[in-house]
Amino acid sequence: MPNVITRMSSLFLRTLREDPADAEVPSHRLLVRAGYVRRVAPGGFSWLPLGLKVLRNIERVVREEMAAIGAQEIQFPALLPREPYETTGRWTEYGDALFRLKDRKGADYLLGPTHEELFALTVKGEFSSYKDYPVLLFQVQTKYRDEARPRAGILRGREFVMKDSYSFDLDDEGLERSYQLHRAAYIKIFDRLGLDYVIVAATSGAMGGSASEEFLAVASTGEDTYVRSTDSDYAANVEAVTTPAPPAQPVDGKPDAQVHHTPATPTIETLVDFLNNAGLGRTFTAADTLKNVLLKTRQPGAKDWELLGIGLPGDREVDLKRLEASLEPAEVALLEEADFAANPFLVKGYIGPKALQDNGVRYLVDPRVVTGTAWVTGADKADHHVVDLVAGRDFTPDGTIEAAEVREGDASPDGNGTLVAARGIEIGHIFQLGRKYADAFELDALGPDSKPVRITMGSYGVGISRLVAVIAEQYCDDIGLVWPREVAPFGVHVVIAGKDEAVAAGAEKLAAELDAAGVEVILDDRKATPGVKFADAELVGVPTILVVGRGLANGVVEVKDRASGQREEIAVDQVVAHLT
């Protein structure tokens, strides 16, 4: 069935001559000017016809590659009950980024920011035998996150479309297979979308090299910084590979900040040792709950620097509940969003002052209480901590830790070459979750010996709506968008250049023939000057512009390649063959 030709005379589209005032990056500026999206609220955008077509094209590519690895599509509501998120601790842990609401009866709901809980519960509801596994499920769905800084139009929305998939396997080898399937599928997706991207380590790698990786589109406007080695494949998000501050001059007679090695996986013994050696004047045992630790360590009267909490990665679900029960609402509000999933070595901490948290310090022990020991984001890497930190020397009063990040020119952590840094936009994230969610919901399969086998999970996200902006960011020039064919809203943009009836008729005929040949056509049949039409065609960014004008009398039309700017005259009777 041929498509219905889209006519600009009736298309719901108004291009803008002026840049939107709030546009921070080229993609935002152009997507608004070319009439792809319109802003409704901070981080909330409506998709106009052209934008929706690109979005759907990206969805199609993603769906095809998900189907190719055997993933099955399902769909959850975005409006979700509190309970499953309570079970995993994320109702609290997600912090301010979670949209929480109440129904008319006062029951708590949330708008799903990501759906691990629902997938785990659903698989538990349907499957019971080891023979049912493995299974890969995905959805393409609207997600909600109350981002602190919605940015650059659809790049960082508060409502956005994500493809999220989840793998369920009986053992670690199975999880590794599912992970590699997704990794390969993501490579295909981003290659098909024509993107320039890198795959970077998103954790320190101590959980096994591939526990989590991010796909970052290369973009100077990106919010992520990554480093890669000049001499090897090593590449990592700086968040994952930060190294401690180099020793600075002592200012107080104490040793300088230095790297302190602790066992690869912190244990309760490590923690107890730490607490007992911390000069708190209290004794701790392995039997102490987090609540006890909190109560014992809280300093009466302490204001600025207060040790509010301490925890281990493994016991976090339980502890968060206990913690919430033991804290004042204001303190609960201090629970910050920390990407534990991405960094299992981050110890959950709750600290003051707020300014430090805002600046990324995840955990800090009051230097007056625990002399000179601290965990700080950016300085933490697998099984290392920075010790003997001195306020004002090793970090500024606002919490910035100057020297804590790996930098361009540093030696690569894998020993090969030096690091170069660049910026990128996260377009995909793949993650070996392990049994965290399966444990929370007791997701088991009955094994061949009738014993339960705990399921292990992976989760994998692609930012579908973000990709519209990311592709636009990589494919644009001064005058407009330049879509790669795979996602372009149309294949050919036919411009009727001139008032001549014969020209209009010739253009209509060519459009119909292209349409019959399976090319999606947009026809500029408006009563506007050729100059206006050309400018709009360049702005809208369809890959091929076909100009039907005066040349038609001599049997030729002009074909312009939007990307290269190259023009050729083609005989009218060869146009369809030329463009298909």
Cβ proximity to Mg ion, 424 vs 489, nearer residue? 424
Contact 270, 263 (CB under 8 A): yes
Cβ proximity to ligand ATP, 429 vs 493, nearer residue? 429
Dist. CA 418–CA 284, nearest whole Å: 44
Nearest approach, Cβ of 363 to Mg ion (angstroms)?
19
Phi and psi torsions of 312, nearest 5°? -115, 150
Answer for which of 33, 145, 228, 348 binds ligand ATP (CB under 6 A) is: 145
Cβ proximity to Mg ion, 111 vs 374, nearer residue? 111
- The residue behind tokens 């935002």 is 28
At residue 214, the 3 state secondary structure works out as: strand
Q: Pick what 413 binds: Mg ion, ligand ATP, none; C-beta below 5 to 8 Å, kind-dependent.
A: none
Q: Pick what 201 binds: ligand ATP, Mg ion, none; C-beta below 5 to 8 Å, kind-dependent.
A: none
Cβ proximity to Mg ion, 20 vs 95, nearer residue? 95
Dist. CA 525–CA 18, nearest whole Å: 23
Cβ proximity to ligand ATP, 29 vs 466, nearer residue? 466
Parallel, antiparallel, or unpaired: how do β-strands 135-144 and 159-169 relate? antiparallel
**C-alpha angle with apex 203: 200 to 204, nearest 5 degrees?**
105
What is the crossing angle of helices 290-297 and 316-326, to 10°?
A: 50
In the structure encoding, which two tokens stand for residue 490, read together? 């149309």
Phi and psi torsions of 377, nearest 5°? -65, 145
Answer for which of 169, 331, 394, 426 binds ligand ATP (CB under 6 A) is: 426
The contacts of residue 530 (CB under 8 Å, 6+ apart) are: 495, 497, 498, 549
Dist. CA 499–CA 483, nearest whole Å: 29
Mark the segment that binds ligand ATP (CB under 6 A) among 152-160, 290-298, 501-509, 524-532: 152-160
Q: Name the nearest CA neighbour of 452 among 467, 441, 468.
A: 441
Nearest approach, Cβ of 349 to ligand ATP (angstroms)?
20
Q: Is 466 in the site for ligand ATP (CB under 6 A)?
A: yes
421 to 460, contacts with Mg ion by CB under 5 A?
426, 429
Mark the segment that binds ligand ATP (CB under 6 A) among 124-132, 156-164, 169-177, 181-189: 156-164
Q: Is 162 in the site for ligand ATP (CB under 6 A)?
A: yes
Answer for which of 147, 171, 486, 500 binds ligand ATP (CB under 6 A) is: 147
Parallel, antiparallel, or unpaired: how do β-strands 99-102 and 108-111 relate? antiparallel
Q: How many residues make contact with Mg ion (CB under 5 A)?
A: 2
Q: Is 166 in the site for ligand ATP (CB under 6 A)?
A: no
Mark the segment that binds Mg ion (CB under 5 A) among 367-375, 418-426, 448-456, 568-576: 418-426
Q: Is 560 in the site for Mg ion (CB under 5 A)?
A: no
Q: How many residues make contact with ligand ATP (CB under 6 A)?
A: 15
**C-alpha angle with apex 407: 401 to 411, nearest 5 degrees?**
125
Q: Pick what 428 binds: Mg ion, ligand ATP, none; C-beta below 5 to 8 Å, kind-dependent.
A: ligand ATP
Nearest approach, Cβ of 463 to ligand ATP (angstroms)?
2
Q: Pick what 160 binds: ligand ATP, Mg ion, none; C-beta below 5 to 8 Å, kind-dependent.
A: ligand ATP
**C-alpha angle with apex 107: 76 to 290, nearest 5 degrees?**
90
What does the H/E/C string look like for 421-487?
Answer: EEEEEEEEEEEEEECHHHHHHCCEEECCCCCEEECEEEEEEEEHHHHHHHHHHHCEECCEECCCCCC
Strand spans (E) along 132-261:
135-144, 159-169, 197-201, 212-218, 224-229, 235-237, 258-261
Nearest approach, Cβ of 18 to ligand ATP (angstroms)?
26
Answer for which of 26, 89, 157, 378 binds ligand ATP (CB under 6 A) is: 157
Mark the segment that binds ligand ATP (CB under 6 A) among 250-258, 303-311, 424-432, 483-491: 424-432
Q: Name the nearest CA neighbour of 428 among 170, 257, 179, 111.
A: 179
Cβ proximity to Mg ion, 96 vs 486, nearer residue? 96
Nearest approach, Cβ of 429 to Mg ion (angstroms)?
4
What does the H/E/C string look like for 395-429?
Answer: ECCCCCCHHHCCCCCCECCCCCCEEEEEEEEEEEE
Q: Pick what 162 binds: Mg ion, ligand ATP, none; C-beta below 5 to 8 Å, kind-dependent.
A: ligand ATP
CA distances from 219 to 157, 216, 239, 330, 474 (A): 18, 9, 17, 39, 7
Nearest approach, Cβ of 198 to ligand ATP (angstroms)?
13
In the structure encoding, which two tokens stand for residue 477, read together? 């020039």
Q: Is 427 in the site for ligand ATP (CB under 6 A)?
A: yes
Q: Is 200 in the site for ligand ATP (CB under 6 A)?
A: no
Q: Is 463 in the site for ligand ATP (CB under 6 A)?
A: yes
Tell me, rounded to whole angstroms, the distance of Cα 512 from its chain centroid: 41
Q: Is 143 in the site for Mg ion (CB under 5 A)?
A: no
What is the crossing angle of helices 49-68 and 172-192, to 10°?
A: 140
Where does 475-555 have alpha helices with state H?
Answer: 501-516, 530-540
Q: Is 153 in the site for ligand ATP (CB under 6 A)?
A: no
Q: Name the nearest CA neighbour of 72 among 134, 27, 128.
A: 134
Mark the segment that binds ligand ATP (CB under 6 A) among 248-256, 390-398, 421-429, 485-493: 421-429
Cβ proximity to Mg ion, 93 vs 426, nearer residue? 426
Cβ proximity to ligand ATP, 6 vs 465, nearer residue? 465
Q: Which residue is nearest to ligand ATP (CB)?
A: 463
Q: Is 156 in the site for ligand ATP (CB under 6 A)?
A: yes
The contact mask relative to Mg ion for 309-338 (x = CB under 5 A, - = no) is: ------------------------------
Q: Is 134 in the site for ligand ATP (CB under 6 A)?
A: no
Applying CB under 5 A, the residues found at the interface with Mg ion are: 426, 429
Binding site for ligand ATP (CB under 6 A): 114, 145, 147, 156-157, 160, 162, 426-429, 461, 463, 465-466
